[in-house]
Amino acid sequence: MNPDQQRAACAFLYQHWKDGSRCNGLPPEMRPTGRAEAYRVQACIEAYSAEPLVGWKIAATSKAGQAHIGVDGPMAGRLLAERQILDGGSLVLGSNLMKVAEMEFAFRFGEGVMPRAQPYSQAEVLDRVSALHPAIELPDSRYDRFETVGDLQLIADNACAHYFVLGDPAPECWRDLDLAAHTVRGLKNGAVAETGIGANVLGDPRIALTWLVNELSRFGMPLKKDQVVITGTCVKPMPIAVGDRVAGDFGELGEISVRIV
């Protein structure tokens, strides 16, 4: 794909995102043939945002998440500032096709991470993290059959990014916790709907975070200071409907909520 084709593919998908409409897939001449091309298509979406990139998401870090979109491994996507919802705020469900909420660990970076040939270790990644936040992701897809289009078209479509909520920073004690064993509860209208642990996210949210850093590095993409990474759902994606109040209880790490309207 040449740069014009990459921009055209992104424009095609972004128009569906903006309009709340769907497609069967990218036109054949706009389909990436590898991950590098898929991420180049995705990168074009930043031109549609008036604000700096909030950060990154990881799709499909849990078996449930992989099953939900029909892939066998994780992929990275971009978090746009215009799609952030304040903690306790409201999401207009509109034409959302996926209709799920996901409870996630989010990490904020106190310094940037530049691409390099050698992979980053988990310790190197955590040294650059300044805070942990509870998060809720409310994903969606521009494809009618998102579970069948494959990872390259999903990456081009920003890895099912849509809206997201970031909670307040967790107490600094998070660094001493076993996040893999940490319990997270997803609540709907005050009742527990799903319970999970950090190990559901590639074995540990910190492992998922390290994967993301190295995925960006591998494809020449920097992770900038103050950007946030949400690391994938540690509970089974929770079905949502208009009128629901969805909350995440991260125990001593904090709580977070959003209303579906």
pLDDT digits (tens, 9 = 90+) for 200-231: 999 999 999 999 999 999 999 999 999 999 99
- Asked if the structure places residue 70 within a domain, the reply is yes
- Asked if the structure places residue 138 within a domain, the reply is yes
- Asked if the structure places residue 24 within a domain, the reply is no
- Asked if the structure places residue 46 within a domain, the reply is no
Q: In Å, how far from its chain's centre is CA 181?
A: 21
The strand pairing partners of 115, in sequence order, are: none
Q: If you average pLDDT over residues 127-153, what whole number do you get?
A: 95
Specify the pTM: 0.95
* CATH number for 183: 3.90.850.10
Q: In Å, how far from its chain's centre is CA 21?
A: 21
Share of the chain above pLDDT 70, in %: 100
At residue 72, the pLDDT reads 79
- Asked if the structure places residue 21 within a domain, the reply is no
Joined tokens for residue 178:
């076993």
The domain tally of the chain equals 1
Q: If you average pLDDT over residues 181-200, what whole number do you get?
A: 97
At residue 42, the pLDDT reads 98
Q: What is the pLDDT of residues 24-72, one digit of tens each?
A: 999 999 999 999 999 999 999 999 999 999 999 999 887 777 777 777 7
- Asked if the structure places residue 205 within a domain, the reply is yes
- Asked if the structure places residue 18 within a domain, the reply is no
- Asked if the structure places residue 87 within a domain, the reply is yes
At residue 126, the pLDDT reads 98
* Gap between the Cα atoms of 212 and 214, Å rounded: 5
Domain containing residue 193 = 51-260
